[in-house]
Amino acid sequence: MSEEQPKQDHRSRPDSENFRAFIAADWAERDLSGVRPLEAAQYAAPRRTALAEKFPEQTLVVPAGGLKVRSNDTDYVFRPHSAFAHLTGLGADREPDAVLVIRTGEAGSEPEAVFYFRPMAARDSEEFFADSRYGEFWVGPRPVEEDIRRELGLDARHVDRLEADLAADADRLRVVPDADRDVTELVRRVRGDAADDASATERDDELAHACSVLRLVKDDWEADQMREAVRATGRAFDAVIENLDEAVRRGRGERWVEGVFGLHARHAGNGVGYDSIVASGDHANTLHWIRNTGDLDPNELLLLDAGVELDSLFTADVTRTLPIGGTFTDAQRKVYDAVYAAQEAGIAAVKPGNKFGDVHAAAIRVIAEHLHEWGLLPEGVSVEDTLAPEGQYHRRWMVHGTSHHLGIDVHDCALARREEYMGAELVPGMCLTVEPGLYFKADDLKVPEEFRGIGVRIEDDVLVTGDGCENLSGFMPRTSADVEAWMKRLRG
């Protein structure tokens, strides 16, 4: 489950019998009275029932994953697999090495769920004082079985029992295969899979796929989590603007902005939902610019694509493109207003009955129209020509798609098939981004000089409603004039 730790024999640890007896003694009993049911857990139960309906009379294994070594004896902060988080309600850094097992009965019956995990060891154990990865002296108290029962309302067992318990269900096991290599191997061993057993792999992939598409439509609690993630993101953007002058002054201002946003994300929630893209000037034309090493120049734009992830792991994903000096130049405004018009068209297309792909079609048409009007498409190519599959010249300046599903993963429901994603009808409860952009690289000889080095994206998070959508991030200024007023207000 966890990756192997290197041996640390250069460090000295007290090891005498006397010491062991001494350190194990005279600790107060842990008080469990403060352990409360986790609100998110009550929403996880109906999700398990919905999943069970797809796999009657089977045993579904959903691992959290293990700690991952960053270097030597330090690990990355733990982040559970999204399917595990969704089906247990646990978020933040919980619970390395845990495995949710769902035993389903006949179609329509309630499944049984058991939570296997590594409980905190007793005070007379080696782990207590000597294990820097799991020990109470090192990482603080961790849950015991009773904590999990109270928090999640699930039967909780030591993970050491997993293999024996799964062996009893060997002919009906499926595992989410990409969550924890060791658990996947354990399941394959218990099932006795042949090395080249494609059908076993396929069955596991079906489970992973079902867990992913289970998140396509958010329940009311998930929608509220998204609202909260976006609200916190709005506050973090405000803080960035308040700190922008200092970021310019200090040099390496992209990093300063990354830090300010990260501070607020970490304070309000679990952290950033993905590495913040802090891209000034021509850096905005590198779509995943996360190096963030640049200075901020008041004559340029700053594209900030960042989102706060709550402790529940639901994340926002918002982009605003800001004139660092406070006012757009004519060329910057021209590009910005084109992207805004495309985004408006995209947002207007977010409504039940439309397909997911219609949002992109609506936005990209407006992008193509502007590029045509500006004379940037090849000679003689009309808007319809470029929109045709054999054209697509306009995509030189917006190679990415307009939308993706959003939730526990920033690119949520990633295992959904094309007909469940691009080709699917939008239904209330779906949460997606609308994020057109235009990217004119500094060395792009096909665009006029005044456009070179300008990159603009505007990204909002929308929730499909009964008759359209709620723009969750719509409270953050979007038009060029409103963005200027926003900056003026916060910078004085």
Residue (104 or 315) nearer to ligand GLY, CB: 315
Q: Which two tokens stand for residue 113?
A: 């769920």
Pick 206 or 275: Cβ nearer ligand GLY: 275
| Residue 309 binding Mn ion, by CB under 5 A | no
Choosing among Mn ion, ligand GLY, none, which partner's interface includes residue 274 (Cβ < 5 to 8 Å by kind)? ligand GLY
Per-residue contact flags (x/-) with ligand GLY for residues 424 to 463, judged by CB under 6 A: -----------x-----------------------x----
**Separation of alpha carbons 160 and 147, rounded Å:** 18
As a dihedral over the C-alpha atoms of residue 415, residue 419, residue 420, residue 421, rounded to 10 degrees, the angle is 80
Two structure tokens written together for 456: 């603009």
Considering beta carbons, is residue 300 or 435 the nearer one to ligand GLY? 435
**Tokens 């993970």 sit on residue:** 159
Q: Which of residues 193-212 bind ligand GLY (CB under 6 A)?
A: none
In the bound state with ligand GLY, the residue whose beta carbon lies nearer, of 368 and 410, is 410
Listed in sequence order, the residues at least 6 apart from 275 whose beta carbon sits closer than 8 Å to its beta carbon are: 290
Cα dihedral sign, 462-465-470-472? negative
Closer CB to Mn ion, residue 207 or residue 458? 458
Residue 97 or 435 having the CB closest to ligand GLY: 435
Does residue 392 contact residue 419 with C-beta atoms inside 8 Å? no
Closest-CA residue to 442 (of 319, 334, 284, 306):
284
Is 393 one of the binding residues for ligand GLY (CB under 6 A)? no
Instruction: State how far the alpha carbon of 141 is from the alpha carbons of 30, 122, 138, 151, 474, in Å.
Output: 9, 10, 9, 15, 41
Q: Which two tokens stand for residue 82?
A: 């999204």
Among 2, 433, 473, 480, binds Mn ion (CB under 5 A): 433
What's the min distance (Å) between Cβ of 432 and Mn ion?
Answer: 9
Q: What binding mask, one character per residue, do residues 333-372 give for ligand GLY by CB under 6 A, x or -?
A: ----------------------------------------
Partner that binds at residue 204, options Mn ion, ligand GLY, none, CB closer than 5 to 8 Å by kind: none
Separation CA 210–CA 214 (nearest Å): 6
Tokens of 392: 């697509």
Q: Decide if residue 305 touches ligand GLY (CB under 6 A).
A: yes
Which one of residues 317, 344, 358, 444 is an interface residue with ligand GLY (CB under 6 A)? 317
The reply on whether position 317 binds Mn ion by CB under 5 A is: yes
Stretch that binds Mn ion, among 133-141, 344-352, 452-460, 468-476 (CB under 5 A): 452-460
Please state, in angstroms and rounded to a whole number, the distance separating the CA atoms of residues 238 and 250: 19
Taking CB under 6 A as the criterion, the residue among 274, 381, 450, 470 binding ligand GLY is: 274
Contact of residue 358 among ligand GLY, Mn ion, none (CB under 5-8 Å per partner type): none
DSSP conformation class of 425: B
- DSSP assignment string, 277-344: EEEEGGGGGSTT---------TTSEEEEEE-EEPTT--B--EEEEEETTSS--HHHHHHHHHHHHHHH
Q: How far apart are CA 373 and CA 371, in angstroms?
A: 5
Q: Where are the alpha helices (DSSP H) in 91-135?
A: 126-130
258 binds ligand GLY (CB under 6 A): no
Residue ranges that bind Mn ion, judged by CB under 5 A:
305, 317, 433, 459
Residue ranges that bind ligand GLY, judged by CB under 6 A:
274, 305, 317, 404, 410, 435, 459
